[in-house]
Amino acid sequence: MHRAQMQGLHLRPIFSLSMTRQSAVAARRTAAVAQHMARMSTEASSSSEPTVKFESVLSMRNYVLNRPDKLNSLNGDMLEQLRPKIEEWSTSDLCTTIVGTGTGRAFCAGGDVAQIAVDAQDPEKRSGAIGFFKREFEMDYILAALNKPYVAIMDGITMGGGVGLSAPAHFRVVTEKTRFAMPETNIGYVPDVGASYYMSRLDGQLGTYLCLTGNHITGRDVFEMGFATHYIPSRRVPALLERLATVEQFSWHLMSGERLPEDPPFQLTGDVRVALDYAFRHDTVEQIVEELETLSSKDNNEAVRQWASETLATLKERSPTSLKLALYSLRKGKNISLLQALRLEHQLATAYCNMAAPDFVAGITNVLVTKSKEPTKWSPDTLKGVTSDLLARFVGTGSTYTDTKGHSLEISEELLAQRLPSPYRWSLPSEEEIGAMVKGSHKDSGGTSLKRQEVLDTFERLRERKLGVKEKVAEVLSRRCTEDKDGFLVWN
């Protein structure tokens, strides 16, 4: 299926066969998939198994990250296995859908950075550390440029490099078991794998907040903030994989969401969300901290004061150098392409590998190797200490620290010619889209002012009553709009 076909996925019937033949084929397909899934469930993961398994079920191709004892963290060997298989599937007429899953309680907890930190300290092995990031970021771009549906099942821990594998997917499925984070500032590094591109395009300043704090959020939060496209119970994942394998033509209707009764509501809403956007709108970390200090002591809302106080405490534990570089990359990433964002992030990763600052090694050693309960000792340990000369090592023109030692990103002309889809097309409506509807500039608004119920009804219709649409639109309207004397909405 080519990208042109994908544009109308939700408008086409799932099956194109006649009803009689359809029933027979579906029965055979379902039986085959059931046998395959049963076989998969009995296979025990062991050290003798490959770190990535590749499954072919009818027209579906599934890569399975298989290092459960390491939470499926990516290493060089896994990347070497993934790339040729993904490239093969991308051109195969027998493959209509690509799916990514993980064994155990994680999709992917990130890159295996502990070994990278060791190699970075050895001048003889430093080139290999830089090369790892090259291979990882190239893999992320290859996934983004796929010309057929790619589904990432984020059923479990999904952090760092796992976000890099899932962000390019056309459909990103989360469950109640999902634990999502970009925790790099806690290990003296910066969010990478395209985070400066993807996270900067989330509503308001949510991406900035998550990337600077490194805070974990749940599956429902990931869905409601717009990163994930679908939310289902974990128990439904096997059935979803069966359905993806048995259909003749892919449709996003296959992944209708379902909310579990015990799920807590999204916490970053209402007054807290207003405060978040207000504090993290600044272009310097110092200004963000100053705003949080004011909110934590003077805001009239207790929930806002508590959130600001907790956020301040978190930022003070993070690497000051990482915070400044993370904010820099997010602000740049908002206005550049995915490829440009990956090149920027590779430049920063290269500088870290070339020991432009000691925090990368210090953070990984303290948090991931020795697993100390004590805070990491950063150098410098204050925002003021992060001088322009230090930052120039990472972003300055001609810096010797950004020498890739022959490991610059290489993307083929064929991939560069591919038009990348909007990353959040299949997600809940964004605040930008909701605002356009209220202001009359949305193509489906009719160019007229609308009342609250009219906006809710319009988005319910446009998204075909997808789970969460009504709640998301209602929350945004209550936070961003007022009503005039006639009941029409005014966007503030």
Which of 474, 490, 471, 470 has the alpha carbon at shortest distance from 482? 490
Pairing between β-strand 489-491 and β-strand 481-483 as defined by DSSP bridges: antiparallel
Q: Give the span between the Cα atoms of 287 and 222, in whole angstroms.
A: 27
Q: What region does 466 belong to: left with phi over 0, alpha with psi -120 to 50, or beta?
A: beta
What pLDDT, in 10s, does the model give residues 287-310?
A: 999 999 999 999 999 999 999 999
Question: To 10 degrees, the CA torsion angle through 191, 194, 197, 202?
Answer: -70
Q: Which pLDDT score is estimated for 22? A: 44
Give residue 249's pLDDT. Answer: 65
Phi, psi of 92, deg, nearest 5: -85, 130
CA 161 to chain centre: 9
Q: Three-state DSSP class for 317?
A: helix
Alpha-carbon distances, residue 65 vs 6, 91, 269, 346 (angstroms):
26, 22, 34, 24
Exposure pattern of 63-89 as b/e (b: 16+ CB <10 Å)?
Answer: bbbbbeebbbbbbbebbebbeeebeeb
Tens of pLDDT, residue by residue, the chain (492 residues)? 444 444 433 323 232 333 334 444 444 444 444 444 444 444 444 457 999 999 999 999 999 999 999 999 999 999 999 999 999 999 999 999 999 999 999 999 999 999 999 999 999 999 999 999 999 999 999 999 999 999 999 999 999 999 999 999 999 999 999 999 999 999 999 999 999 999 999 999 999 999 999 999 999 999 999 999 999 999 999 999 998 888 766 665 656 656 654 677 788 999 999 999 999 999 999 999 999 999 999 999 999 999 999 999 999 999 999 999 999 999 999 999 999 999 999 999 999 999 999 999 999 999 999 999 999 999 999 999 999 999 999 999 999 999 999 999 999 999 999 999 999 999 999 999 999 999 999 999 888 899 999 999 999 999 988 888 999 999 999 999 999 999 999 999
Predicted TM-score (pTM) of this structure? 0.89
pLDDT in tens, 171-217: 999 999 999 999 999 999 999 999 999 999 999 999 999 999 999 99
For the annotated catalytic residues, the residue numbers are 111, 161, 184, 192
Contact 155, 71 (CB under 8 A): no
The Cα-based distances of 122 to 64, 128, 220 in angstroms read 32, 10, 42
Neighbouring C-beta atoms of residue 52, cutoff 10 Å: 20
pLDDT at 251: 63
Please state the φ and ψ torsions of residue 52, each to the nearest 5 degrees.
-135, 130
Please, are residues 345 and 137 in contact by the beta-carbon 8 Å criterion?
yes
Query: For position 47, what pLDDT does the model report?
Result: 55
Give the model's pLDDT for residue 464. Answer: 87
pLDDT computed for residue 200 by the predictor: 99
Q: Which domains does the chain have, with CATH numbers?
A: 3-181+226-255 (3.90.226.10), 270-410 (3.90.226.10), 431-491 (no CATH)
Residue 40 pLDDT: 47
Name residue, tokens 């459909």. 171
Place of tokens 């970009």: 182
pLDDT at 2: 46
